[in-house]
Structure 1
């Protein structure tokens, strides 16, 4: 009897100790802190119209790694460079899968897109083709004259407006310049008239895709609503994507007919893709072509357009910055002279302006959402399988623990003493992300933006339309797939 009592007592004691150990272990491996969720909707109501701002404010309460519940989805938000380094670099394999918005299921776009595919052999193959044929150093150098020509067309249009005292919509002219640069790189032709006052036809289509894809969609957080599509977001994306895919299809068919008729080859990106597809049909099909072109149109055109518009807006708000930039340009280049890409290395203040714009106005303020495919341990917390991970680069760019002097103020001079790179190595400034899922188009953007911006500043004086005072310029942000201005920047150029 005593023996059995001892055995039972021992089993009970061991079981009790095991339970205590498990509880204490799970206590140290729990979800990051965050606001208490409401029934059914979770913390959905806290996201607001500008989630990057709402989440930055919540991080001040709950910390730089926090969790929320939005409907059926757990969201983990990273708001510091230290934790971002862990997610984007040290543990990037665990966090490199994309969280795919329901809207991008339209036309099966996400199944063939470099942006949305998981890291897999197909993704690596597409990335290799893109790197080799579009953004390698050799290809960028080969296209330098094309970029220079398109910037000169931009300046020529602004000169025409200056002579006629016409208003220039910075977003529109930047969009046309970027569109024609990309379309010539891809298809060897312009898709917009650089000297027309009319808005580019494709601007509304691409802007609509960016706008719709960037909206908070209930289906993403309540998958049970997928078949209903209550906000009609997938339905509208399907229409807009269909228009672009039809354009791509027409251009591809036209090229194939031309090749058949003339037996000639063009060395643009479309020619490269078509040759690769003909030689390796199992690797690249028409769907891959459409999705790759779509990635480039959205990633290259709207991103660069947004950055240029924000930079001009910030400069015009502070006339002393405009004067400093123009003084540097006049001294180094000569007033009114065209700027070429090799000149940029001799224009440190212009480079500071671009960096400061990217700090305060990163094109994708939460980067592209990521999904974890299995439970992941991160700083003694467990990020459960299926969670969405967001890196709030907008908040990181305003973190007062690093950006100590006036972090909310546009001050290009801060970079005199801060040797930070925007290419993903310095995690305090990662407008294009970091790690293997860094935006592949950033080398092109960093070539083009300083030349466009510097050329506009060195060719004209600029004033806001309708006599608006610089201090009254509206700087309200519009959240979406790309962070844009709510109100377009409209200015009048005049001779220097």
Structure 2
């Protein structure tokens, strides 16, 4: 579907066939990002990965982050943090279970993911002098806001919506936080290489060439580090929490699926210990549950827009340079022509003979995007989501409060960069494992 958004020509991709054409066959031609005012102001002139145009700088920064921050070995290195924070949560929920307390599952999950991700990225979760959570939420809203200046550029000078002012104020506050965090790390000596966080790792390559083989000799400086850190925080916290929230919502709405998943974990793990990350690769039904949740609730319903780098003709249609390409991942995952008449239904068994790897080969469900611009943190995100879901359904039975029938659970969505629930999920946990288990 083609649109004219102000002065910007745009194409909306809503089918897996079209997605494969744009994100695989002609991926290089659509690998850039449009200049969006919010990202320019909030991401240090788009010096992070998410919004930077396709260039040697972007390619080298992505390679740096993939190798130094998001590799399989790094995901494994941060395993103890995930284990520790989940142990704390399980202990807290066990206390709630003793008195039949109604738990705000949405808040609990969001706080858990923040604790995990902030410790991985920044080294600790709490900065008493800053409300980092509030600032990140504000930045996320501003980047996702409809800004008239992005489509009618001359309106930018008037700041009709007040977004420019808000972006500048938020950017200034975020910069103060990131500057303080980096300074704190610089003053710390004798960092254990096995307990490095993202800030430590990035500081260790400061002033070094991002890619020694590249003739442009681009180096990482303080501004680059702050832009990359902000990218990581925004991408990691909101998305993982939203996927977990929706997965638990669907499990509570479908007791049959919950029972099958609990039985699978019980058979593999038993009732005398908690789930460990080494168990996850053996839990096939868990994979199906996560794949189904990602199909219905992709990390971003609309992928971050791409931009046509050079005019091109595809299937007889002429697409001119600078055309904006918007991929509707939400619609692709619910396409009746691909997923049959029950496309709107949560039915994990549809993946019995279809293993998703999200590496750019399957376009029927693209929750992390695809091609050169697909999310580089897929391994980290999936490891976190799978462990949290497995742990919460293994350690607890969950019941909806106020006599709500599972089939009547409100499943309305709230639109944004991600698609969180319109209403928070509440449930009552009851502990189901041996009482002598230690929560590490």
| Alignment partner, residue 355 of structure 1 | 291
The answer to whether the 8 A contact 1:336-1:458 is kept is: no
> Are the structure 2 counterparts of residues 139 and 184 from structure 1 closer, same or farther at C-alpha, using a change threshold of 3 Å?
same
1:467 is paired with a residue whose SS is coil
1:477 is paired with a residue whose SS is coil
Aligned residues: CA RMSD: 2.2
2:259 is paired with a residue whose SS is helix
Q: How does 1:6-155 map to 2 (within 5 A)?
A: 66-107=1-42, 109-155=44-90
**Larger-Rg structure:** 1
The answer to whether the 8 A contact 2:396-2:429 is kept is: yes
The answer to whether the 8 A contact 1:122-1:283 is kept is: no
Inter-partner Cα distance in structure 1 for 2:273 and 2:173: 40
Inter-partner Cα distance in structure 2 for 1:450 and 1:401: 29
1:324 aligns with 2:260: yes
1:278 is displaced (CA, Å) by: 4.2
1:225 aligns with 2:225: no
1:171 aligns with 2:106: yes
Inter-partner Cα distance in structure 2 for 1:204 and 1:352: 34
2:313 is paired with a residue whose SS is strand
| Alignment partner, residue 385 of structure 2 | 449
Inter-partner Cα distance in structure 2 for 1:192 and 1:476: 34
1:298 aligns with 2:234: yes
Q: How does 1:57-456 map to 2 (within 5 A)?
A: 66-107=1-42, 109-191=44-126, 201-259=131-189, 267-280=196-209, 283-335=219-271, 337-456=273-392
Instruction: Tell me the number of residue pairs that the alignment of Structure 1 and Structure 2 aligns.
Output: 423
Which of the pair is proportionally richer in helix? 1
> Are the structure 2 counterparts of residues 184 and 263 from structure 1 closer, same or farther at C-alpha, using a change threshold of 3 Å?
closer
| Alignment partner, residue 213 of structure 2 | none
Inter-partner Cα distance in structure 1 for 2:272 and 2:235: 31
Q: TM-score normalised to the size of structure 1?
A: 0.80
* Unaligned runs of at least 5 residues, structure 2: 211-217, 433-440
Deviates more, 1:242-251 or 1:299-308: 242-251
The answer to whether the 8 A contact 2:121-2:232 is kept is: no
1:144 is displaced (CA, Å) by: 2.1
The answer to whether the 8 A contact 2:396-2:430 is kept is: yes
The answer to whether the 8 A contact 2:243-2:299 is kept is: yes
> Are the structure 2 counterparts of residues 156 and 268 from structure 1 closer, same or farther at C-alpha, using a change threshold of 3 Å?
same
Bigger relative CO (Cα 8 Å, ≥ 6 apart)? 2
Inter-partner Cα distance in structure 2 for 1:412 and 1:453: 15
1:321 is displaced (CA, Å) by: 1.4
Deviates more, 1:306-315 or 1:281-290: 281-290
1:290 is displaced (CA, Å) by: 1.1
1:315 is displaced (CA, Å) by: 0.9
Inter-partner Cα distance in structure 1 for 2:87 and 2:113: 12
> Are the structure 2 counterparts of residues 264 and 88 from structure 1 closer, same or farther at C-alpha, using a change threshold of 3 Å?
closer
1:201 is displaced (CA, Å) by: 4.5
1:157 is displaced (CA, Å) by: 2.3
**Partner deviation per Cα, 1:367-395 (whole Å, 9 max, x = no partner):** 11011133121111011222110111111
The answer to whether the 8 A contact 2:42-2:170 is kept is: no
2:340 is paired with a residue whose SS is coil
| Alignment partner, residue 63 of structure 1 | none
**Partner deviation per Cα, 1:239-278 (whole Å, 9 max, x = no partner):** 333333322111111122234xx79877332122112114
> Are the structure 2 counterparts of residues 234 and 477 from structure 1 closer, same or farther at C-alpha, using a change threshold of 3 Å?
farther
* Unaligned runs of at least 5 residues, structure 1: 1-65, 194-199
